[in-house]
Amino acid sequence: MSGLTIVYTGKGKGKTTAALGIVLRATGYKKKTCMIQFIKGSWHYGEMTSADRLKPEFEMIAAGKGFVGIIDDQSPREDHQKIAREAVRISNEKIQSGKYDIVILDEINYAVNLGLISVDDVIHMINSKPKDLDLVLTGNYARDEIIEIADLVTEMREIKHPFRKGVKARKGIDF
């Protein structure tokens, strides 16, 4: 069976969590999965620690420099672009390596939306992936060109969020 291209997008919460659900399921079958995170990277969050517990089946690479232009980001945009281009290089290497059953490109849609990488980079990764590899792309603002060539697209839609009432992000739930 051919591998799928799966996209989790939308402004609602749960895109990375859905991708991590695939990791959990795949690990149960001893499938090898690699997640490359395009935006996250400078903060500590729970999946960094839990990724170690899922080794050797799961590898996670925090390739980003952190959230771009929000909260405490003081980095020049050029730094984020350089690191995102390196994440593309790493992603291509992992996709073509033959070592993985599933590769997850976490927040890649957001990296495209921010202009850190091009949509053509992403389309190239999708079109050149090995036939049996499952490729998962997360992040809001998925481009129409990506949605068109994907096999499965799920849009997360926020209906209600405690942040709107001033509730701060919580360990184990939000990070």
CATH number at residue 157: 3.40.50.300
Looking at residue 170, its pLDDT comes to 83
Task: Grade residue 159 by pLDDT with cuts at 50, 70 and 90.
Answer: very high
Average pLDDT over residues 60-86: 74
Q: Considering the domain boundaries, does residue 63 fall inside one?
A: yes
The reply to whether 41 falls in a domain is: yes
In a domain, 174, yes or no: no
Residue 170 forms part of a structural domain: no
The residues facing 37 across adjacent strands are 62, 106
Average pLDDT over residues 145-169: 93
Full-prediction pTM beyond 0.85? yes
pLDDT reported for residue 42: 58
> Domain for residue 96, yes or no?
yes
What distance in Å separates the CA atoms of residue 135 and residue 129, rounded to the nearest whole number? Answer: 8
* pLDDT of 69 higher than 60: no
pLDDT of residue 75: 67
How many whole angstroms separate alpha carbon 62 and alpha carbon 157?
Answer: 26
Q: Average pLDDT, stretch 19-48?
A: 88
The pLDDT assigned to 162 comes to 84
Note whether residue 27 is domain-resident.
yes
Position 171 in a domain: no
Written as six digits, the tokens of 141 are 């603002």
User: What is the rounded distance in angstroms from the CA atom of residue 118 to the CA atom of residue 141?
Assistant: 13
Domain hosting residue 116, numbered range: 5-165
Among 73-77, 109-113, 155-159, the least confident range: 73-77
Question: How high is the pLDDT of residue 157?
Answer: 96
Rounded mean pLDDT of the chain? 90
Nearest to 161 by CA among 8, 13, 16: 13
* Closest C-alpha among 29, 155, 175, 39 to residue 102: 29
| Number of structural domains the chain divides into | 1
Question: Is there a contact between 118 and 90 (Cβ–Cβ < 8 Å)?
Answer: no
Whole-angstrom Cα distance, residue 62 to residue 36?
6
